Structure 1
Amino acid sequence: MNPARLCQAIAACAIPIVSLSGSISTASAQQPTVIEEIVVTGSLIRRDSFDSASPLTVVGQADIANNATPNLGEVLVNQTFNYGSDFQTNTFAARPQIGTTTAANLRGLGAAATLNLIDGRRAGGNLNNSLPQIAIERIEILKDGASAIYGTDAVAGVVNLITRQDYRGAEFSVFQQQDKGGDLREQQYEFIAGAETENGHITMAMGYKTRSTLEHLDRPRFTREGFQTSGTGNPGVWLVPTRDEDGNLTGQSARLRDPGCGAATAQSPGGGDIGQKGNFLSGDPRNAIEFALGLPPGAAGPQTCSLHFGEFWNYVNPNDQLSGWVNFRHQLTDNLSNEIDFQANRLKTDSRGTPQNPGGRIEEFPTVLGDHPGNPFRALNADGEPLYAMDDGSGNPARDDSGNVILSAAPTDPSSGVPFNEDVNVVELRALGKLGLLPGANQPRNLNPDGSNTGNATFDSTTYRLVNSLRYTVPDSTWEVGLTGILSNTRTVLEAKNSSQSALVAGLRGELSVAPESDPTGAEGLRFWNPFSTQALNCENRVCEHTGTPDFANEVAVLDAIDIQTNNVTDTLFWSANLLATGDIMEMPAGTLQGAFGVEYRRTRIDEDIDDARNRCDWHEGGCGFDWRADQDIYSGYFELAVPVIDRLDLTLAGRYEDYGGGIGSSFDPKVSFLWQPMDMLSVRGSWSSAFIAPSLTQQFESENCGLETMEDELTADFSGSFRVACVRGNPDLSPESADVYNIGASIRLLDGDLTLGVDYAVYDFEDRISQETGNNVLRANFNDFLAAGNDPDSQADIDAWIATMEPRIFRDPTGVVSRVLVNRVNAQEMKHKAWDFFGRYNLSLNGWGDFNFTLNATYIDQFSFDLGTGDPQDRGDGAGKQNEQVAEIPPLPKWRVNGTVNYFLGNHAATLRVRWIDSFELQFNSAGLQTLHGLRGGSDSVSSITYVDANYRYTFDRLLGDRSTTLEIGANNIFNEFPDPFFNLGGIETFVHDVRGRMAYLRLSQEL
């Protein structure tokens, strides 16, 4: 079979498939739901009830609305068994969070371990913007391995969005919410319409939502008490030659901060308060330790010039999202039906960040000569007296054959020669900082008025998805045969900032060619780039001040040449063909044996167009990046059998064979599950399955991609927790992750069905977890190798020799400080996760006084053990009840999460009260140095438990506008405006767990049309 031709034929003939997940049909938009024969998530066989041998959570339309959020991903975040989904922004944390592409992360096993479906069909990784929320009937969440049914990725479970395909009528909805202080606002506008056609049904929906920005300084308490200090600032730190009392070079150099560092703090609008904008515009002479503990400069380490970056970050990134959906079903004949499902969505999001990031190829920088017009390092003798050099005849200092300045006969006598500055080498420097905000200085035109630049999450993503399905019912039988074709395409344009390495080097030499607006021809000659404080200050004899007329301001054209904005374009194409037959096989003594049999072909292709600057290796931070393309073909065969063993005991057997070819190979994954109902009130269920996750194309073939991490280096005793660059590339030798998944559970119905109680116990046993090393993993392994080779950590000679010859994956500046680390993706991890889920529901009717519905859901994590396979004790342990920041693949895991909800209904009135309790957890920073500082500042070893309370009230007007109903709802999430205590880490709050927004009050209006 030629798969490409098969897919082309399917698309050309518009042949669709049977839906893998049936829907709940509704007679009208107002009538109650009637359950017919359906397909429940986790099975391919149509049944007449929701009874499932696997643990299934159903989030209905009302439950979705009660979450009161335009962000569908936040509905998943609020499920007690979901851990580590990003719904806020913390792009430079150890586990970066964008907050606009929230994906399910069932059990905290990673977004890649949860398969996303729409009406039972593969939907890609991000459901957050896939459909207008008004188009969703319910969300079915399977908390069990399902690779035997759906294939790769369905390890932790499945999230299946069921749409309102049978909706009749029209409805418009408006939702608006904002936080207590009005800093953050969100709006959502949605419309749905559906109608019967001559031989079918059509439904369409559209949605638009927009969100404003919540900056770090909108929550100044977390900024002030969190970590937001970088030792790589602008102005920077330099290696400056030292001289003796006579002015002669000693042959040694001193690490000195730019003399203008901190000189303009008094002129900064925010002064020295990092909770205000425009703080420390000329840098802070204290390092992170000194700032955190209130120590003077130099008390805890060598000289530095820090930049406080908190004012440039967001907690919530702004975005605009537009989505549309159309579903058309047509009965072609009595036995043949056709369904076309089309979705389109676009997400545009912006982000903020520092003017330029730290970390870069400073080892390639030239020596900055003393004749650089901005050089503030006046040559001084050991007594601090200014020195003078022989005049070379043109007013410049004369130099010998080695390039050293020749002192005058009386080097401290001003009349004996000309003044000169030292030749210096950079130690720490970011290309752009806050100096450009000072009066008299300049900024690149691309920067925002507050000095911020593009962050790490500015992108524009557009997705189109077409599903075309055909279902044939075999006459005089229970068998149905379906053929489905899916075509999906996503284009993402990621905007990124960086500095041009070639412009930086040329600018330091005075060889930068620019075409300023004042001289488009560039005839004025070559330019210098001034990296020193003299771009904004006046310096004399290494003493600087701000006068408003700097010594040598950078031209805007120079800064524009350095600050580059690039677009990376990624196209992801997915198509599949699936043939499925389901029906009754035979009668058995205890009932009917049912089966489902199918074959599937899938193809995924990724084409990434890296920006021209990285193609030319012109990125200062990260270096090179090259275009790449990869594709993958997958062939599958699968089955499912529903076997009635005895009365009230059903056994389900399923299996799936998938062939990936190449280095991945093939896999067969079986699943065995049972449902035993010994009496009407009691159900017992259990399952075992093997499951797998194939490495993604990005994990296998991506070209080098670099980002920032906080790192510490035991070899050089660098425990500052400063940002360094970590670069990773694809590994084509990765093997699939594999897991054995077990579940056992029971539920009981009491009080004539008004009370339901249940419990499930789940075990996930992983092998070959695909793990991306952190920079700290590499640095710790390097130090352990250093010790294992018999070296002395107190011997500088041993350290220097090791750095010179034994570190192929570690790059350092001239003083030995780490600047960049190459990290790998490897099959290294073993993990075992054990958890308990508890649920209860009670319906209480007070007759004429209304009806109550009480629900309780809770999850307890019993174990989340891991072993990265490195042999390092820090790379193994149990993550339950801990923050787990040092292991990228494990999110924060509070042991307990509990949600309790009370719903009240009386006629047209309805109200909801929900309580969400999150257990305490032990802090475990990626940086041991930062955690030590947190303790020295009086911080606790753990984050206390927290309780969020949500409430709403809604009233339905039957005939407010004509004969159509109108529903008005008001409410708030976190009505008591609860916040956790800050801690001394990035952002000051664990945004995977806690909500930095505070109270969010909302208003919703829904109008039938």
Structure 2
Amino acid sequence: MMRSFTSLRALALLGAGMILAPQAASAQDNEADTSASEGEGNAILVTGSRIRRQSQADLASPLATLGSENISDIGAQNIGEITQTLTINSGAQNNPDAFTQGGTTGTSNINLRGLGVASTLILLNGKRQTLSAAPTNDGINFVDTSSLIPLIAVDRVEILKDGASSLYGSDAVAGVVNFITRENYEGFTVSGEYTTHTSEGDYSEYNLQALGGINIGDLNLLAAVSYVDRTALTTAERRLSEPADDTSSLGNPGSFFGVPGFPAGAPVIDPGCADAGGFPNVLSATPAGVPDVGFCGFDFGEFFNLVPDEERLTIFVSADLDISDSVRWSAEVGYADNEATRGNSPTFPFLQLGQAVVPDFNPNNPFGANVVFFGRAIGNGGDVSPATFESETFRVSSTLEGDFDGLLQNGLWNISATYAENNFDSATEDTVTDRFACALRGFNASPAFNAATGLDCTAANPFLTANGASIPTDGTFFNPFSSALLGGAANSAALLDYITEFAVSDRGAELFVVEGFVSGELFELPSGPVGIAVGAQYREQQISADFDSISVGDGFAFLIGEQPFAGTQDVYAIFGEANVPLAEWADLQLALRFEDYGADGGDTLDPKFALLVRPTDTLSLRGSFSTSFRAPSTFQLQGQSTTLQQVSDPLNGGANAFVAVRAVGNAALTPETSDAFNFGFTYEPIFGLEISADYYNFEFDDAIVQTAPQSIVDADPDGPNVIRSPAGTIIQVNNSYVNAASVETSGIDFSIRYRIEADFGTITPSFEGNYVFDYDLQTAIDGPVINGAGNRNFTNFGSPTPELRFNAGLQFETGAHAFNIFGRFIDSYDDDQNGGANIESDFRVDAQYSIDVADFLELDNQVQLTAGVRNLFGVTAPSVATNGGFDSRVHDPRGTLVTVGLVAGF
């Protein structure tokens, strides 16, 4: 769809790479010297500033760093697993399921502070990545961290935990996560990990990676590749849900309306329901020998996945060249191909009841009258229907930078260009409305039938032509009755294949960014030099989507359809930053950014003020305040999507219904604004002991959200936006995007780490966590304030927000041996989908042992063996009375995982 334009731009950027290259915004850790240049000693760029500093400790904003050793210690095998360990992450969609995140299978993202998956800016070496072309169920496009980089190439991850829009732009309102690759690497390293699920199911995972680097004079070349092959963990193998939560009223066998002798609105259960494997839900008992009134339930709970089947290939290549003593060039290219397959029920419910007429002349009809089928084409006895997803991402970035002295001392200039694209294709099987209607009719062209439905079921129908059938013949009639399953007139494979089709989507997203800045020391104060940085940025974001012809014509019975769209957003920005040493013990950081989104988004001027005070050598105090602005995205303004979501029906006793939610863009959206402030300290009373805490507060006004489908149903359950079948069940909810009145969250981050050096080894206990004080949501200016802290927030637009999360760790290193044990706690919270029922807390323990074989055996090359257990005690995800049986945005559905790994370096 976008590849011709993509190729031209990619070639242009590769050509531009001869003069431009990316410089990583980085920070020192214990493993590597990350100086910006040899000439500047320890002066470095850290995430959260464009002014070079002596260390990240000089930054007034809260910045956390995970080094490559930290990542190895926690046993993370991919970026999604790193995210899930972050206590400040809440509600990320790293395990997309068919029920709440059906269109993004195979992706992962980050959701700092629960402010939304698009509110955290994701950087790679300080540069942007394109958004995923596939939106979440609530219509948000995000950066897919699964497509970012091979984990073996990551040197560290820096997390800026306060607002950063004044530095990086509007999508950094909740913070920044910057993935930084290895620098000046020489050698070759390979690693392999195998993980198996010791609980129910055949789930396993292979993760193979390789990293190579070479120095050729002043040129360093690095290449990394990773390949992941993950088998599925199906709900048939490890079921967490109760059958009652996964039983649909629309099954096969099903029920029928219009049966002679019964009221027109009374559903009559197929008499063979129970014998064919259905679950009769009797609403009104009848005399013996007379069909009951009610529904024939279908338990679809064993057809889905807790973890999809996946293959991932990720490649990263970079080049760094010292052109001279003062000028450096670098470039990087990335590619990722993620393929995932997830199961669905054999067919979705057939919701277009006006087209579900079974005529009296259907030879399988036992009622002798026209009746309306309430069910699905294939149910009991059917096989899993696969849904496939493929995400292909390409990125190229190039930067040229250099040192200078003049008006600015110790100056740095930097210009860069980045292009990235994502193409996301998916295919999901559903019943085609008119084909099914004609099959019930046996493709008969009765005028009365045509008048009622507008269908053309003549001999020109492709199914009849392909199968050489005449009209009418019994072989062309679809049999929706239990007799098809109980030894009677079974439906042919050809007919079943004809009435179903794959709804295919082809989505694309592109990003083009050009940026430049200069920084340096403007003048000297008695307490030190005043540093400044000024620059400008242009970025263009494109999002588009195409669909198959049936979808465009709203021709599917459950998925309904989608409409193609395309949109572009251009953003121009200028920015500035200053670092003023007020005293030897106090630094003031000032930042200001102006962004212009054009007619669709307006413009904004956002400041940031941050103060760092060091009253003693062991104590530092920090505080920051910033404002931000986020314009409506192209998708929110112009896009359209139809997703499958679960709602509870207040007119049907609170029964859960799985419905189509159609959301359309809202051109009247206005930008959202926010204020954020942070106060914190770091205290190091003795050598090796570090204690830190930060209080944060984010307040959004006019926040852009998609209205929660449940709130639409609750507000007006029989209104124009809640579409119901003749039986009264919900089949569709019409939705859009709105500016919510406000979102406010506050809380505290805390951490304690103590590195104890002893004769027998090194012991490092650690404890870190996050406690949410407030997470208040208001959907309308005059509406009630919802207390979302400690709530699942299913019925509103918020993220699930347990109040307390913490990680407790103990590491022991002696000689060639290392032992790690970690405990991860997620607090209990309330389930607003189910009357405030308690969702229990979750505490899991991971353990890992590694041995440096090279050190142990005194070998020249690196060889390390690792064995680990995740979820050592086999804790099961807390139960939630919903489809799937657990909260996929909070908990891990897997049981105990055993991993063995080998790393070899040459």
Do Structure 1 and Structure 2 share a fold, with TM-score over 0.5?
Answer: yes
Aligned to 1:19: 23
Deviations 1:672-692 (A, max 9, x none): 001000111010000000113
Q: Secondary structure at the match of 1:48?
A: coil
User: 1:913 and 2:821 equivalent?
Assistant: yes
Counterpart-to-counterpart distance in 1, 2:318 and 2:112: 29
Aligned to 2:145: 127
- 1:376 alignment partner AA: P
Structure 2 counterparts to residues 62-81 of structure 1, below 5 A = 62-81=69-88
Q: Secondary structure at the match of 1:339?
A: strand
Counterpart-to-counterpart distance in 2, 1:824 and 1:308: 31
Aligned to 1:215: 234
User: 1:228 and 2:162 equivalent?
Assistant: no
Counterpart-to-counterpart distance in 2, 1:594 and 1:89: 45
Shift of residue 431, structure 1, vs aligned partner: 2.7
Aligned to 1:169: 187
Shift of residue 780, structure 1, vs aligned partner: 2.3
1:757 is aligned, of 685, 691, 699, to 691
Counterpart-to-counterpart distance in 2, 1:989 and 1:732: 36
1:603 is aligned, of 540, 554, 569, to 540
Counterpart-to-counterpart distance in 1, 2:484 and 2:87: 53
Q: Secondary structure at the match of 1:750?
A: coil
Mean Cα deviation higher: 311-320 or 620-629: 620-629
Aligned to 2:441: 509
Aligned to 1:860: 771
Structure 2 counterparts to residues 775-794 of structure 1, below 5 A = 775-783=709-717
Q: Secondary structure at the match of 1:109?
A: coil
Structure 2 spans left out of the alignment, 5+ residues? 1-5, 131-142, 444-456
Counterpart-to-counterpart distance in 2, 1:866 and 1:453: 38
2:60 is aligned, of 27, 48, 53, to 53
Counterpart-to-counterpart distance in 1, 2:587 and 2:30: 29
Q: Secondary structure at the match of 1:128?
A: helix
Mean Cα deviation higher: 339-348 or 898-907: 898-907
Q: Secondary structure at the match of 2:890?
A: coil
Counterpart-to-counterpart distance in 2, 1:204 and 1:602: 27
Shift of residue 332, structure 1, vs aligned partner: 2.1
Deviations 1:387-446 (A, max 9, x none): xxxxxxxxxxxxxxxxxxxxxxxxxxxxxxxxxx122123x32232124x4xxxxxxxxx
More strand by share: 2
Q: Secondary structure at the match of 2:118?
A: helix
Aligned to 1:486: 418
- 1:121 alignment partner AA: K
Shift of residue 167, structure 1, vs aligned partner: 1.4
Shift of residue 6, structure 1, vs aligned partner: 12
* CA separation of 1:28 and 1:757: change in aligned 2, threshold 3 A: closer
- 1:536 alignment partner AA: A
* CA separation of 1:27 and 1:730: change in aligned 2, threshold 3 A: closer
User: 1:834 and 2:746 equivalent?
Assistant: yes
Aligned to 1:812: 724
Q: Secondary structure at the match of 2:513?
A: strand
Counterpart-to-counterpart distance in 1, 2:303 and 2:825: 32
Aligned to 1:901: 809
Aligned to 2:762: 851
Counterpart-to-counterpart distance in 2, 1:433 and 1:659: 53
- 2:678 alignment partner AA: N
- 1:646 alignment partner AA: A
Q: Secondary structure at the match of 2:901?
A: strand
Question: Is the contact between residue 226 and residue 986 of structure 1 (CA under 8 Å) also seen in structure 2?
Answer: no
Shift of residue 810, structure 1, vs aligned partner: 2.9
Q: Secondary structure at the match of 2:50?
A: coil
Counterpart-to-counterpart distance in 2, 1:213 and 1:690: 44
Aligned to 1:723: 658
Structure 1 spans left out of the alignment, 5+ residues? 244-249, 265-279, 291-295, 378-420, 438-450, 538-545, 784-802, 932-940
Counterpart-to-counterpart distance in 1, 2:353 and 2:434: 12
Shift of residue 328, structure 1, vs aligned partner: 0.3
User: 1:997 and 2:894 equivalent?
Assistant: yes
- 1:82 alignment partner AA: N
- 2:344 alignment partner AA: G
Q: Secondary structure at the match of 2:70?
A: helix
- 1:343 alignment partner AA: G
Counterpart-to-counterpart distance in 2, 1:233 and 1:829: 41
Mean Cα deviation higher: 21-30 or 623-632: 21-30
Over the matched positions of the two proteins, sequence identity in percent amounts to: 28
- 2:378 alignment partner AA: L
- 1:722 alignment partner AA: A
* CA separation of 1:18 and 1:820: change in aligned 2, threshold 3 A: closer
Deviations 1:798-832 (A, max 9, x none): xxxxx6xxx43232222433321211111124111
* CA separation of 1:1000 and 1:906: change in aligned 2, threshold 3 A: same
Counterpart-to-counterpart distance in 1, 2:168 and 2:520: 18
Question: Is the contact between residue 704 and residue 728 of structure 1 (CA under 8 Å) also seen in structure 2?
Answer: yes
Counterpart-to-counterpart distance in 1, 2:322 and 2:29: 16
- 1:768 alignment partner AA: D
* CA separation of 1:892 and 1:556: change in aligned 2, threshold 3 A: same
- 1:952 alignment partner AA: Q
* CA separation of 1:915 and 1:209: change in aligned 2, threshold 3 A: same
* Structure 1 vs Structure 2 CA RMSD: 2.9
* CA separation of 1:97 and 1:180: change in aligned 2, threshold 3 A: farther
Aligned to 2:206: 187
* CA separation of 1:858 and 1:577: change in aligned 2, threshold 3 A: same
Shift of residue 22, structure 1, vs aligned partner: 3.8
Shift of residue 9, structure 1, vs aligned partner: 7.2
User: 1:104 and 2:39 equivalent?
Assistant: no
* CA separation of 1:87 and 1:958: change in aligned 2, threshold 3 A: same
- 2:108 alignment partner AA: T
Counterpart-to-counterpart distance in 2, 1:324 and 1:522: 50
Shift of residue 963, structure 1, vs aligned partner: 2.2
1:44 is aligned, of 45, 50, 55, to 50
Aligned to 1:350: 341
User: 1:742 and 2:677 equivalent?
Assistant: yes
Q: Secondary structure at the match of 1:969?
A: strand
Aligned to 1:117: 123
Which protein shows a greater Rg?
A: 1
Structure 2 counterparts to residues 627-646 of structure 1, below 5 A = 627-646=564-583
Aligned to 1:532: 480
- 2:115 alignment partner AA: L
2:399 is aligned, of 449, 466, 469, to 469
Aligned to 2:860: 963
Deviations 1:952-973 (A, max 9, x none): 1111122769621210011111
Question: Is the contact between residue 657 and residue 669 of structure 1 (CA under 8 Å) also seen in structure 2?
Answer: yes
Question: Is the contact between residue 86 and residue 99 of structure 1 (CA under 8 Å) also seen in structure 2?
Answer: no
Counterpart-to-counterpart distance in 2, 1:685 and 1:618: 58
Shift of residue 856, structure 1, vs aligned partner: 1.0
Shift of residue 305, structure 1, vs aligned partner: 1.1
* CA separation of 1:562 and 1:517: change in aligned 2, threshold 3 A: closer
- 2:726 alignment partner AA: P
- 1:628 alignment partner AA: F
Counterpart-to-counterpart distance in 2, 1:591 and 1:466: 39
**Normalising by the residue count of structure 1, what TM-score does the alignment of the two structures yield?**
0.81
Counterpart-to-counterpart distance in 2, 1:151 and 1:949: 38
* CA separation of 1:8 and 1:180: change in aligned 2, threshold 3 A: closer
Aligned to 2:380: 434
Structure 2 counterparts to residues 547-562 of structure 1, below 5 A = 548=487, 550=488, 552-562=489-499
Question: Is the contact between residue 430 and residue 559 of structure 2 (CA under 8 Å) also seen in structure 1?
Answer: no
Question: Is the contact between residue 22 and residue 332 of structure 2 (CA under 8 Å) also seen in structure 1?
Answer: no
1:612 is aligned, of 538, 544, 549, to 549
Shift of residue 902, structure 1, vs aligned partner: 1.2
* CA separation of 1:870 and 1:307: change in aligned 2, threshold 3 A: farther
Number of aligned pairs? 858
User: 1:453 and 2:401 equivalent?
Assistant: no
Question: Is the contact between residue 823 and residue 846 of structure 2 (CA under 8 Å) also seen in structure 1?
Answer: yes
2:560 is aligned, of 603, 606, 623, to 623
Shift of residue 335, structure 1, vs aligned partner: 2.8
Counterpart-to-counterpart distance in 1, 2:672 and 2:164: 14
**Normalising by the residue count of structure 2, what TM-score does the alignment of the two structures yield?**
0.90
Deviations 1:169-204 (A, max 9, x none): 111000111111362111101011112122221111
Question: Is the contact between residue 228 and residue 986 of structure 1 (CA under 8 Å) also seen in structure 2?
Answer: yes
Mean Cα deviation higher: 96-105 or 648-657: 96-105
Shift of residue 710, structure 1, vs aligned partner: 2.4
